[in-house]
Amino acid sequence: MQLSDKKAMLSFSDGGESIELPVYKGTVGPDVIDIRKLYGQTGMFTYDPGFLATASCESSITYIDGDKGELLYRGYPIDQLAESCDFLDVCYLLLNGELPNKEQKADFDGQITYHTMVHEQLHTFLRGFRRDAHPMAVLTGLVGALSAFYHDSTDITNPEHRHISAIRLIAKMPTLVAMAYKYSLGQPSIYPRNDLTYTGNFLRMMFATPCEEYEVNDVVERALDRIFILHADHEQNASTSTVRLCGSSGTSPFAAIAAGVACLWGPAHGGANEAALQMLEELQANGGVAKVGEFMNKVKDKSSGVRLMGFGHRVYKNYDPRARLMQETCKEVLEALGLQNDPLFKLAMELERIALEDPYFVERKLYPNVDFYSGIVQRAIGIPTSLFTAIFALARTVGWIAQWNEMLSDSDYKIGRPRQLYTGSPSRDVPANR
C-alpha cells in the first residue's frame, strides 16, 4: 500500500490535542485512514459494529466496486473469467495471482485430482450424524475433522505446508459434500475418479450409484463449473473474515475453514440461496405471480419480518454482477434441459421486475445478489435445496484458503483482537449477606 500525501486530521470540540493520522492508497478503491496509533494517542477506540466502514486488512486477491457492480479476481473481471476459464483456472489464479499457462494448469489439475480421496476413517465420522442432519452441519463437522488427519503439514509458517493444505481442501470439498448428500439418501458414497474433470467428478459422486453409472451432461457440468467460479471469492465477507480471524491464532487451516463453513451457513450470508428458493416455492404454492404484489407488501412491512431473500447486499448498491451471470446460466440450463417454462424462474423474473421498479427497493438500492438465481439453476440440475449452501462452501473454499494464505504469508500479521465500547456495570462488590 502507498502512503498518500493527504493526512487525516482529528480534532476535538473540547479543545483537546488534535492528531494527524496517515492515509494510505490502494491500487483502486477507497483510501484508508490508518488508526493503529489512535488508541495510544487519544485513549479512544473507533466504533464500527458490523464493520461497515472498516478495512480489516490489505489484500490483492479480490476487488469489489459496490456502486459500479464490479467484481475482479486478481484484476480480471468476473464475466470474462466465467466465460473463458474453468474453476481450476480460477483456483490457480486466486492462489497464485496469475492465470496458469498450459504446464502450470496440467500440474495444478493433477495435484488436485490426486488429493480428491478422503481418509477412509472420515466415513466413520459420517456415521455419527442423523441421516436428516442439515448438510452444512455435517460439512462443518467433516471439514473440522480433517484437522485430525494431516500431521505431515502442521507448520503454518511453512509455505509448502500451507500449499498442500490448500490443495487438500480444494480437492476434498467435492468428495465431502457428495458424501454428506449420499449419507442423507441412505446410499453408499461414490469414490472420486481420476479420469474426470473436477466438476464432472463431483456430479458423478453426487448422482451415480453402485448399480448405475452417471453420464456427465456437458451443459450441466459447464453450468455448475460457472457457479463455482461465481462463488469462489468475495473480498472480506463474513465467512472470509471469520477464516482470517480464526486463522490468525495460528490454528489448523482445516479448523479455520470449518469456521468459515459454519459462518456461511447463516441465512443472511450463504444460506440465502436455500432461503431464496424456499421463498419462491412457498410463493408458487400460494398463488405464484398473481400473489407477488401481496408478498411484496409484506416485505415492505418491516413488522412482518419478511425479507426478499437473494436481494440486497452490504457492498453492492447496484446489480451484483454474479446475479446477472447466474440469470444467464439459468436461462441456458433451463433451455438445454427443456425447462424454459420453469414456473419458479418466471416467478423470480417477475419478482425482480417488480422490485427494480418499486421505490422501496430503489431507494434502498436493493438488487438481486448471487443467491437469487443460483437456487433455480441448482434445482434444475437436480441438486436438493438443502445442499445449495454446501455447494457455495465447496466453491468458496479456494477464496477462504487464498485469503488465509495471504494473511499468513505476511510475517508481520497479528492475531485479531477487536475491542469494545463497554456499557455494563462499573466495578461493584459482591454483597456480603448473599
Catalytically active residues are 313, 371
Is residue 244 a contact residue for ligand SDX (CB under 6 A)? no
User: Going residue by residue from 111 to 150, which x/- string records binding to ligand SDX, judged by CB under 6 A?
Assistant: ----------------------------------------
> Distance (Å, rounded) from C-alpha 257 to C-alpha 162?
13
- Cell for 111? 495435484
- Phi then psi dihedrals of residue 9, to 5 deg: -105, 130
Interface residue with ligand SDX, options 113, 184, 248, 369 (CB under 6 A): 369
In sequence order, what E strands does 11-122 have? 19-25, 32-33, 62-65, 70-73, 76-77
Based on its alpha-carbon atoms, the radius of gyration of the chain, rounded to whole angstroms, reads: 23
Is residue 269 a contact residue for ligand SDX (CB under 6 A)? yes
Is residue 307 a contact residue for ligand SDX (CB under 6 A)? yes
Is residue 378 a contact residue for ligand SDX (CB under 6 A)? no
**Within 10 Å of residue 348's Cβ, how many Cβ atoms?**
25
For ligand SDX, give the closer residue by CB, 222 or 314: 314
Is residue 226 a contact residue for ligand SDX (CB under 6 A)? no
Nearest Cα to Cα of residue 398 among 211, 161, 232: 232
Interface residue with ligand SDX, options 100, 247, 310, 375 (CB under 6 A): 310
- Non-local (6+) Cβ contacts of 73 within 8 A are 61, 62, 81, 90, 93, 94, 232, 233
Comparing every residue's Cβ against ligand SDX, the nearest one is 312
> Distance (Å, rounded) from C-alpha 385 to C-alpha 156?
36
| Number of residues located near ligand SDX, criterion CB under 6 A | 21
User: Going residue by residue from 275 to 304, which x/- string records binding to ligand SDX, judged by CB under 6 A?
Assistant: ------------------------x-----
- The nearest distance, CB 301 to ligand SDX, in angstroms, is 10
Is residue 309 a contact residue for ligand SDX (CB under 6 A)? yes
Stretch touching ligand SDX by CB under 6 A, among 67-75, 119-127, 218-226, 311-319: 311-319
- The nearest distance, CB 140 to ligand SDX, in angstroms, is 17
Stretch touching ligand SDX by CB under 6 A, among 73-81, 135-143, 196-204, 269-277: 269-277
- Cell for 25? 492508497
Determine contact, residues 134/262, Cβ cutoff 8 Å. Answer: no
> Distance (Å, rounded) from C-alpha 115 to C-alpha 317?
40
Query: Number of helices (H) and strands (E), helices first, in the chain?
Result: 18, 6
Q: What is the amino acid identity at position 120?
A: E
- Cell for 3? 502512503
Stretch touching ligand SDX by CB under 6 A, among 37-45, 94-102, 134-142, 308-316: 308-316
C-alpha atoms less than 13 angstroms from C-alpha of 203 in its C-beta half-sphere: 22
Stretch touching ligand SDX by CB under 6 A, among 103-111, 162-170, 363-371, 420-428: 363-371
Site residues (vs ligand SDX, CB under 6 A):
234, 237, 268-270, 272, 299, 307-315, 364, 366, 369-371
